[in-house]
C-alpha cells in the first residue's frame, strides 16, 4: 500500500525539508519503519519503547490511531498519515 506521510515542520530536518514522504506499508508500524529506513532517526522522535510518544499524535486520515489499533492500525492505498506533535512556542 502506498501512503503519504505528512511531515510537520519540526521534523523536516530529518527529511531534508520534505513536507511529505510516500512509503509502502500495510500497517502504521510498517509506515514508521519505512519512514525511518528512508530518513534515519525520525522514528525515535515519534515512538519510544511504550509506543507512540505521549506528546505526539498520529492520524490516519481524520482518525486518531489511539482510537484505532495504535501502531497495528491498517493503512490503505492512498491514505494520508498526519503527525501532530505538541508545540509550545509563540
CB 16 within 8 A of CB 34: no
Region binding other proteins by CB under 8 A among candidate stretches 22-30, 32-40, 58-66, 71-79: 58-66
Of 23-31, 33-41, 56-64, 69-77: span binding other proteins (CB under 8 A) = 56-64
Q: What is the pairing mode between strands 47-48 and 56-60? A: unpaired
Query: Residue count at the site for other proteins (CB under 8 A)?
Result: 23
Smallest gap from Cβ 21 to other proteins, in A, equals 13
Site for other proteins contains 67 (CB under 8 A): yes
Closer to other proteins by CB, 31 or 65: give it.
65
Amino acid at each position: 500500500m502506498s501512503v503519504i506521510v505528512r511531515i510537520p515542520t519540526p521534523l523536516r530536518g530529518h527529511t531534508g525539508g520534505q513536507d511529505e514522504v510516500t512509503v509502502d506499508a500495510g500497517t502504521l508500524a510498517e509506515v514508521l519503519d519505512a519512514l525511518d529506513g528512508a530518513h534515519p532517526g525520525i522514528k525515535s522522535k515519534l515512538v519510544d519503547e511504550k509506543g507512540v510518544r505521549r506528546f505526539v499524535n498520529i492520524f490516519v486520515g481524520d482518525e486518531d490511531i489511539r482510537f484505532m489499533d495504535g501502531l497495528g492500525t491498517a493503512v490503505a492505498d492512498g491514505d494520508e498519515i498526519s503527525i501532530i506533535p505538541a508545540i509550545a512556542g509563540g
